Each structure stands twice: as C-alpha cells, then as structure tokens.
Amino acid sequence: MLVNFNEMLQKAKAEHFAVPHFNINNLEWTKYILEECERLQVPVILGVSEGAAKYMGGYHAITGMVKGLIEDLGITIPVCLHVDHGSSFEICKKAIDAGFTSVMIDASRKELEENIRITKEVVDYAHERGVSVEAEVGHIGGTEDNITSEVTNARLEECIEIVEKTGIDALAPALGSVHGFYKGEPNLDFERMKLINETLPVPLVLHGGSGIPDNQIKEAIACGTSKINVNTEVQVAWSKAVREFLSADNKAYDPRKVIGSGEKAFKEKIEEKIRLFGTIR
C-alpha cells in the first residue's frame, strides 16, 4: 500500500525505532527493497533523488513502476514513495501530481526566511493532497547526486521557527552527518539532536546514514531520530558483488544476470540496516 510517512514515523518516534529510507535507482533495486521489507514485515520509505528521477525517466514512470511492483509482488507493508532533496516547489509539485506520497523540500542552502517561504508553499500544496513533507535546516554536506557541499549545523531556534511557520511533518536538522563517505569518524551533535527532539513534536530525520558506526546510529535513535536515510552503503555492497561476478566471468552479458549478481549482497545490507534500526516490531 502506498502511503505518506506520517503514521509510520509517529509510531517510530513514540516507540524509539527508525524507519529506513533507501534510495532507488532502477526497477531491480526497488524490487529487492520491497521483497526484503515484505519478508521482514517492516514499513519502508523509497527515496528518489532528482538525478535518479531523471535517470529512471521521470516521476510518472517511477510511480507506475512502484505501484506495479506492489501489485504484482503482493506487497502488503506500508510503502512511502518520497522525493529526496527536492530543490524547488516545481519539482515537488511534479512528483505529487504524478502520485508520490511524500516529498522532501530542500531549500537549506537559502537563507532561513526563504527556506521557510518555499517550504510553506510545498506544505500547502502537499497537505491538500494528503502528501507528507520533510524539510532541512542547517545544511547536510558531503556528496549527493555528484554534488559536493559543506556542512552547517542546525540551531534549535531555526528548527522551532521552520516547524511552527510551515507545519512540516518531519525535520532533517543538519547535525554533523554527511552524504557519501566520511573523512574520519562522524561527529554528530547528539545533545542538540535530543534537545530538538524534546522541544518539537515532529519526527527527526538523519541523512547520510552510510558509514556511521552502529553505536552512533543507536544513539541517534535514542535521541529521537525516527527516519534514517541510507544510500551509499547499499550502492557499495551491490557494486562490489557485481564487480566480483564480472571479474569471475568475463563472458557474462545477460543484464538480468549482471544486475542480479548483486541481489544477495544488496538484500543482506537492507536486512542489516533494518535490524540495526530496530524497525522489526
């Protein structure tokens, strides 16, 4: 069933676990994620970056693919189809009009006032259509969709202001995590995470979930994180398996065998994260 993320994240916040957000890039990965989450009976958020949306053909193609897989595979768990880092109102509108059930509007590189203005515009459009909205405050840096940027940590007052003025459903405060690989140990501000969580009713989102040691992930969940985004670690697990397959068989050419050679490693990584996040109830 395609749903927005409100019910799953409110439950996660109340019961101190996190819902996984995995990024999708193609039919195979979407199928693997749905099959694994159905097997483990956990809700899931499928994240689609702008680059991935372009790669897959567009928002209608993705909605059709996800709905078709849910139907054909007999998926019964709640599935949220979510725009990851939508850069404008227009992008979010396009996805919502095509049937996405959730969007992240990321105006975090703009001044707070402008971030709030754009986010509110998205919230007004989305909420009228039953679509949930996530927004970012501060700036989560690192490398995402081949774009690299610096980290700016979120301040509590900014978080309060954006939540109160826009009515967003989830907040991604930048608190030291980065997209892609970390240089050295991640340095997350857990104290501020806890304070933001205790001050605000909205569930918190942790971006850059790859490469954070398990004990820090557990601490983030204890400090109120209810949604954790993972992309790079899954990509690395899949591509490593495919590379091994291709170097062991230099005659392989069937795309189903090539892409499928990463399925086992991909699914193992998905299960590892779900168990770590405590999503299995």
Residue numbers annotated as active site: 84
Task: At 4, list the tokens.
Answer: 């927005």
Q: Is 247 exposed, middle or buried (0-12, 13-18, 19+ CB in 10 A)?
A: exposed
For ligand 13P, the closer of residues 183 and 251 by Cβ is 183
Look-up of token digits 């949220």: 80
| H or E stretch covering 243 | helix 232-248
**180 contacts ligand 13P (rule: CB under 6 A):** yes
Angle at 270 between CA 7 and CA 48, to 5 degrees: 60
| Tokens linked to 210 | 């790859």
Q: How far is the CB of 207 from ligand 13P (least distance, A)?
A: 3
| Minimal distance, residue 253 CB to ligand 13P, in Å | 30
- Residue placing its CB nearer to ligand 13P in the complex, 35 or 145: 145
186 binds ligand 13P (CB under 6 A): no
Residue 230 as a binder of ligand 13P (CB under 6 A): the answer is yes
Number of alpha helices (DSSP H) and beta strands (DSSP E) in the chain: 12, 11
Binding mask 73-112 for ligand 13P (x = CB under 6 A): -----------x----------------------------
Cβ closer to ligand 13P: 84 or 263? Answer: 84
Nearer to ligand 13P, 23 or 225 (CB): 23
Query: 263 is written with which tokens?
Result: 């399925």
Binding test (CB under 6 A) with ligand 13P, winner from 63, 119, 166, 210:
210
208 touching ligand 13P, by CB under 6 A = yes
Query: Which pair of tokens denotes residue 123?
Result: 């919230």
The yes or no reply on residue 207 touching ligand 13P (CB under 6 A) is: yes
Give the separation between CA 108 and CA 1, rounded to whole angstroms: 31
Report the Cα 177 to chain-centroid distance in Å: 14
Binding site for ligand 13P (CB under 6 A): 23, 47, 84, 179-180, 207-210, 229-233
